Chains A and B, each alone.
Chain A
Amino acid sequence: MGTDPEVSRRSSTTGAREWPLWEVFVRSRRGLAHGHVGSLHAPDAQMALRNARDIYTRRQEGVSIWVVASAAITASSPEEKDAFFDPAGDKIYRHPTFYDIPEGVKHI
């Protein structure tokens, strides 16, 4: 656990030479969730939003944009992947296909 190294490594360059990094999420149309589309550099959130519009929605790819400072994202670690996700692995009874239903029973 911790700050995503992908993100922290990149946002460590927020010195005079480089603006901070922002992750961009776009809702492609109403009824769908925002999805991650990429990232960009910008001096502040407002500029990040405007740049995101120009970079990621030049062809009406979205109806709504979120920008999130990359440094603000906390992510699970790939090294812990097995330990982190294993608890779900042996609980196959959480899936409907685990259960035997007699022949001919409908709507279940």
Chain B
Amino acid sequence: MYGNDFTPPGSSETAAPATGQAGSRAFQALLDADGRIEPRDEMPDAYRKTLVRQIAQHAHSEIIGMQPEGNWITRAPSLRRKAILMAKVQDEAGHGLYLYTAAETLGADRADLLDALHTGRQKYSSIFNYPTLTWADIGAIGWLVDGAAITNQVPLCRCSYGPYARAMIRVCKEESFHQRQGFEILHTLSHGSEAQHAMAQDAVDRWWWPSLMMFGPKDTAATGGDPSSGHSAQSMAWGIKRFANDELRQRFVDMTVPQAEALGLDLPDPDLAWNEESGHYDFGEIDFTELFEVIKGNGPRNAERMEHRRRAHEDGAWAREAASAYAAKQQARRTSEVA
């Protein structure tokens, strides 16, 4: 899954300054040589802060992303589908953990990051604020949402910050299972009964545009970054971001259109057409006002996701306390044996 690292225009959530402090010469030399920054290296504060925010937001997205899919575990249409979906949701938890520990190498505290999520100070990907209405949505999430995530995340495997890049290599390996299982669900439905085909088409109709929005707002040509947040260009210079939003979005569209044909499903965009001259698919205008509404908390499921997340954390407190108590008891027993 994926955390979007952009904010609505005029948002008070501060983006990193577009021109960070110079940082040490060693830091710049490493970046210039396309080397990797490791946790104990000197780094500009703004670099550290940008990474903590981005990685945390990414981690939050992974664990919030468990909800729309977990919603269907009890209703998966067969034991095979149920086992696969449980494995996928477990992967999302694992991805969250890889990322939280990567953020901790920068001096962040996981408990603080969870607080920031629970109090709404940090965001997660807006894509998870859409509901999963039918079983076909599980297919559409795997194929489109995870497909968009992979397109975004593969370049992060070469991110300048070592622990983040290493976490992303693991995440990307596992995401390709996610995308294929989604494709298979849709393929089966699309070639099933008329009602099943219609269910698959309906899911694709609802998930296509939100998936395109996962790449963030349009770039401005001058900066190679998005105009709303101002940290895109700086992230490029730091080697945290490797490609512009629009470039990645185009890559995703070009890969996905032929896959939709193989599925026998339509993508809900009348302007979608192969452009012989550019060698890419043209596609219609994206309504970003919707994206920013969802990021601001006005999406269909924002409140529910947050409430569920907080409740799960509180309901799990007894298990964490029991594990701590058991560990303390064992420790005390060992100490008294020695004495």
B-side contacts of A9, CB under 8 Å = 107
Q: Assess A55 versus B98: contact at CB under 8 Å? Given A44-B330, A47-B323.
A: yes
Q: How many angstroms between the C-alpha atoms of A84 and B101 in the bound complex?
A: 28
For chain B, residues 190 to 224, give those with C-beta under 8 angstroms from any C-beta of chain A: none
Q: How many angstroms between the C-alpha atoms of A4 and B41 in the bound complex?
A: 12
B-side contacts of A21, CB under 8 Å = 101, 104
Q: How many angstroms between the C-alpha atoms of A6 and B163 in the bound complex?
A: 12
Q: Closest chain A residue to B107 by CB distance?
A: A9
Q: When each residue 15-31 of chain A gets 1 if its CB lies under 8 Å from chain B and 0 otherwise, what string results? A: 01111010000000000
Q: Assess A55 versus B94: contact at CB under 8 Å? Given A38-B101, A44-B330, A78-B40.
A: yes
Interface Cβ pair total, 8 Å cutoff:
62
Which of A5, A39, A43, A75 is close to B327, meaning CB atoms less than 8 Å apart? A43
Q: How many angstroms between the C-alpha atoms of A16 and B97 in the bound complex?
A: 19
Whether B91 and A58, one on each chain, are in contact in the complex, defined by CB atoms closer than 8 angstroms, is: yes
Smallest beta-carbon distance B118→chain A, Å: 13
Smallest beta-carbon distance B97→chain A, Å: 5
Q: How many angstroms between the C-alpha atoms of A37 and B286 in the bound complex?
A: 40
Question: Is B34's beta carbon under 8 Å from chain A?
Answer: no
Interface size class of B (residues with CB under 8 A): 20 to 34
Q: Closest chain B residue to A16 by CB distance?
A: B324
Whether A10 and B111, one on each chain, are in contact in the complex, defined by CB atoms closer than 8 angstroms, is: no
Question: Is A49's beta carbon under 8 Å from chain B?
Answer: no
For chain A, residues 66 to 99, give those with C-beta under 8 angstroms from any C-beta of chain B: 75, 77-78
Greatest chain A CB density within 10 A among B87, B94, B101, B324 is at: B101
Q: How many angstroms between the C-alpha atoms of A2 and B105 in the bound complex?
A: 17
Q: How many angstroms between the C-alpha atoms of A55 and B101 in the bound complex?
A: 12
Q: How many angstroms between the C-alpha atoms of A21 and B167 in the bound complex?
A: 17
Q: How many angstroms between the C-alpha atoms of A19 and B166 in the bound complex?
A: 23
Q: Closest chain B residue to A58 by CB distance?
A: B94
Q: Closest chain B residue to A21 by CB distance?
A: B104
Question: Is B110's beta carbon under 8 Å from chain A?
Answer: yes
Q: Closest chain B residue to A76 by CB distance?
A: B40
B-side contacts of A38, CB under 8 Å = 98, 101, 166-167
A-side contacts of B323, CB under 8 Å = 19, 42-44, 47
Which of A18, A54, A58, A59 is close to B110, meaning CB atoms less than 8 Å apart? A18
Greatest chain B CB density within 10 A among A21, A41, A47, A54 is at: A41
Q: How many angstroms between the C-alpha atoms of A59 and B109 in the bound complex?
A: 28
Q: How many angstroms between the C-alpha atoms of A39 and B105 in the bound complex?
A: 10
Whether A6 and B91, one on each chain, are in contact in the complex, defined by CB atoms closer than 8 angstroms, is: no
Whether A43 and B326, one on each chain, are in contact in the complex, defined by CB atoms closer than 8 angstroms, is: yes
Question: Is B268's beta carbon under 8 Å from chain A?
Answer: no
Q: How many angstroms between the C-alpha atoms of A77 and B101 in the bound complex?
A: 21
Question: Is B259's beta carbon under 8 Å from chain A?
Answer: no
Whether B97 and A19, one on each chain, are in contact in the complex, defined by CB atoms closer than 8 angstroms, is: no
Smallest beta-carbon distance B292→chain A, Å: 34
Question: Is B134's beta carbon under 8 Å from chain A?
Answer: no
Q: Closest chain B residue to A59 by CB distance?
A: B174
B-side contacts of A54, CB under 8 Å = 90, 94
B-side contacts of A5, CB under 8 Å = 40
Smallest beta-carbon distance A82→chain B, Å: 10
Question: Is B331's beta carbon under 8 Å from chain A?
Answer: yes
Q: Assess A6 versus B94: contact at CB under 8 Å? Given A43-B324, A43-B326, A78-B41.
A: no
Q: When each residue 78-118 of chain B gets 1 if its CB lies under 8 Å from chain A and 0 otherwise, what string results? A: 00000000010011001001100100110101110000000
Q: When each residue 28-64 of chain B gets 1 if its CB lies under 8 Å from chain A and 0 otherwise, what string results? A: 0000000000111110000000000000000000000
In the complex, 26 of the A-B residue pairs with CB atoms within 8 angstroms, ordered by the A residue number, are A5-B40, A6-B39, A6-B40, A9-B107, A10-B105, A17-B111, A18-B109, A18-B110, A19-B320, A38-B167, A39-B104, A43-B320, A43-B323, A43-B324, A44-B326, A44-B330, A44-B331, A47-B327, A54-B90, A55-B94, A55-B98, A58-B87, A58-B90, A58-B174, A77-B40, A78-B42
* Beyond known contacts A39-B101, A55-B98: 18 more, CB 8 A cutoff: A6-B40, A10-B104, A13-B110, A18-B110, A18-B111, A19-B324, A21-B104, A38-B98, A40-B101, A41-B110, A43-B320, A44-B327, A55-B94, A55-B97, A58-B87, A58-B90, A58-B94, A75-B40
